[in-house]
Amino acid sequence: MNNTTLFQTASFKFKLHHLAVIGILLLSFSISYTIKSQGLDYGNELNEFDPFFNFRATGYIVENGFSEYFEWHDDKSWYPTGRDVSATSQTMLHITAAITYQIFGGNSSLYDFTILFPLVVSSLSIFVMFALVRLFAGTTAGLISSLLIAISLPIAIRGMAGWFKSEPLGIFYGLLGLYFFLSGIKSENKKIAILKIISGGVIMTFGMASWGGNQFFIIPIGIFILVLPFIRKDHKFLVWSIPLFVVTFLITASLFERPGLSFVFGLGGFSLILPTVFLITCIFIQKLSKEKNKTRNGLILLLFIIVIGSSLMIINGDSNFINLPSYRYLNAINPFMLTMDPLTDSVSEHATTDLSSSFIFNSIYMIFAGIGIWIILSKKVIQSEIFIKKDIIAFVLILGITSVYISSAFVRLELFASLSLIILASIGLSILTKEIFKINFSGMKNYAFKISYVVIIFVLFTIPLVYPESSSGNWISVLDIPPTILTGGGNIAAPGNDWLETLEWMKNNTPQDAIIASWWDYGYWITTMSDRITFVDNATLIDSRIKHMAKIFLSNPDDAWNMLKEWDANYVVVFVAAERLNHYSNSGERLYILGTGGDETKAQWFIRIAELPVQNYLFSDLYTVNNNFFNNTLLGQMIPYTPIAYYDQTSGQSYNEFRPGFYPLYVEDVKYFSDSGPLKLVHSSPSFSNEENGQVNLVFVYEINQNYVPSNIP
């Protein structure tokens, strides 16, 4: 770049290339912000489910202070047990948001601030990624990485407006901590190195206290520590700098209730402590060994450590002297594990990653990441000054391999693969670009060649952004979706206010101490927006209670009424997603289609979670609910529709009996509308009375009849 000096402050000269760097970084930030803010066009609302609890917890800090927050036992959730909020939450998300709101919130409401918080934090990660990759391979690679992370689909999905969840802040802290750690062990100034290493340990812990998924950064760091004695000569530096990082990291982690001491003395701490012990021991052995035997002796020790570590894990399977993380974290470490827990399987973000989704998420990144690996491993690059030290090469490759491996477990973890692929692709592209621009042809041929190269790269990275043109086909349009609370989390693209209106109705028309039963998906919405007590929510703290809620829905109405009474429940909420057709039955009744994302679709998961025979409630396709479900379960009776025929789309004919491939046609049928039944419909959301054709979200609130006498009581 041009090195013309624009102005000078003290010893720093601000040059033209600095202006270009700032311009590209601001462009990257703007692109990221614009892509991730599309949901705001539909309404200024939080997105998904967890953000509502995080908003409520952040508000508690703002209103009551930090000391009260850490003493807070929430009695409005998980009735009657309640919830120890700080011990079961990603506290740094709440703390960071509360502090930044008090500094930068101005006159905005906390609700509006938390909608923009993930959008801003995710976009700010661009600057951290630039600094990190610049540390690896220079300014050009850093700038390329800033542009690539700005358009990364997995990162954009979990950093868009309203996504006030753990990932945006967790990734920001994680990358920043990684930068300080690697920058520290690269620094030649001991004082600066100490400061950076300590900062890296503390900030990495902040990341883990913001998002549990940041524990996966430990895997590449632990492996990196294992290989350091073989690739670095400055053993005196390593023998104190690595333990300093690990000790800082673990001490800081122990100060939080989560991850806390269970992490320090569990598999997470073990994954850092054991490599650190190996590093110190290996350096000591190499110091005592002859020059030609140093590597061999170190490898023998490494093999011994691996055998010991594996043996401990096998023994731990019986004795459990090492704290293990929950199943989903173990599944990420070992993607071949098979779950026996339908509750875990029912969560969409826990779906197993397949090749198709991986390609959609990272397509062009995969190609250039492969080029990056090939270039990095070439002898010419290793011997050049592009990388400051071989340890940086090792870390980049370790990060790439482990991130791709981890992301194969859950779709949610694809963002780790995206991060590593961005780093590898940026390095590869920067080196490839430098080599291309070194080539000189005569005359116009030289300019044509280089311009063609730039155009090809630009087109390749633009294609997934704009193609295919379908509403869910490219990286930009897939984010052009309304907030979940406007769709109910169903597969309906058309937004509506049914949930917002119903939550407001419950707040204004039910007693303040009312206890609301619903499926766990809606617990956070009810507690936060209606300020009412709930039994279960998205924290999934007590799986057995969620299982019991599923059994209530699938029990016959009289048994379900008894179970709800035992729980002291006052109301039951059910969500139905439907499509109103412009067709009528022979008797003149309006026809409907169900099964597009409401509780009627989730019934298959209710059955599995409750551990009931699926054939009792589903037809042979193991998806469509049968007549027994509608006639003999509480949930079936709460859904105000009844199937009257089964439609074959191929023939265009309707039949009285179900066959695989047919879909049911329903007519409106409110079963509980009087005081004589176990429940009474007291509120239906606006779309229920709307006569327009098309997809609708329907929310129904039933009051439990306290005077009902079940038929099974003598």
User: Would the CA dihedral through 34, 37, 40, 42 be positive or negative?
Assistant: positive
Give me the phi and psi of 702, to 5 degrees please: -110, 135
Q: How far apart are CA 93 and CA 283, in angstroms?
A: 39
Q: Chain-wide mean pLDDT for the chain?
A: 89
Confidence of residue 490 (pLDDT cuts 50, 70, 90): confident
> Which whole number is the average pLDDT over 482-487?
93
Task: Enumerate residues 6+ apart whose C-beta is below 8 A from 607.
Answer: 550, 554, 613, 614, 616, 617, 618
- pLDDT tens digit string along 93-129? 999 999 999 999 999 999 999 999 999 999 999 999 9
Q: How far apart are CA 316 and CA 113, in angstroms?
A: 45
Residue appearing with tokens 């140093």: 294
Coil vs helix vs strand at 647:
strand
Which H or E element spans position 201? helix 190-210
Confidence of residue 307 (pLDDT cuts 50, 70, 90): confident
- Which of 662, 488, 454, 492 is CA-nearest to residue 574? 488
Q: How far apart are CA 207 and CA 192, in angstroms?
A: 22
**pLDDT value of position 344:** 65
For the chain, domain boundaries: 188-323, 487-704
- pLDDT tens digit string along 622-633? 899 999 999 999
**pLDDT value of position 194:** 97
**pLDDT value of position 267:** 85
What is the CA angle 567-572-578, rounded to 5?
Answer: 150
pLDDT above 90: residue 345: no
- Which of 406, 271, 419, 268 is CA-nearest to residue 332? 406
> Which whole number is the average pLDDT over 321-334?
61
Could you please report the per-residue DSSP string of 336-365? T-----HHHHTSGGGSPP-HHHHHHHHHHH
Dihedral class, residue 546 (left if φ above 0, else alpha if ψ from -120 to 50, else beta)? alpha
Q: How far apart are CA 337 and CA 331, in angstroms?
A: 6
**pLDDT value of position 375:** 83
- CA of 418: how far to CAs of 48, 132, 303, in Å? 22, 15, 31
Coil vs helix vs strand at 705:
coil
**pLDDT value of position 36:** 97
290, two tokens: 């002859």
Burial of residue 412 (CB within 10 Å: 0-12, 13-18, 19+) is buried
Q: What is the pairing mode between strands 515-517 and 571-584?
A: parallel
Contact yes or no for 703/680 (Cβ under 8 A) = yes
- pLDDT tens digit string along 268-283? 898 999 999 999 999 9
Confidence of residue 175 (pLDDT cuts 50, 70, 90): very high
Confidence of residue 348 (pLDDT cuts 50, 70, 90): low
Confidence of residue 384 (pLDDT cuts 50, 70, 90): low
- pLDDT tens digit string along 640-662? 999 999 999 889 899 999 999 99
Contact yes or no for 280/226 (Cβ under 8 A) = no
Length of the chain: 714
Q: Where are the alpha helices (DSSP H) in 13-160?
A: 16-36, 50-64, 66-70, 91-104, 110-137, 139-151, 153-157
> Which whole number is the average pLDDT over 673-693?
93
pLDDT above 80: residue 588: yes
pTM: 0.92
Which long-range contacts (C-beta less than 8 Å, at least 24 apart) are formed by 126-130? Answer: 126/25, 126/28, 126/29, 126/32, 126/150, 127/25, 127/29, 128/172, 128/175, 128/176, 128/179, 129/175, 129/419, 129/422, 130/25, 130/28
> What is the distance of C-alpha 40 from the center of its chain?
20
Give me the phi and psi of 558, to 5 degrees please: -70, -45
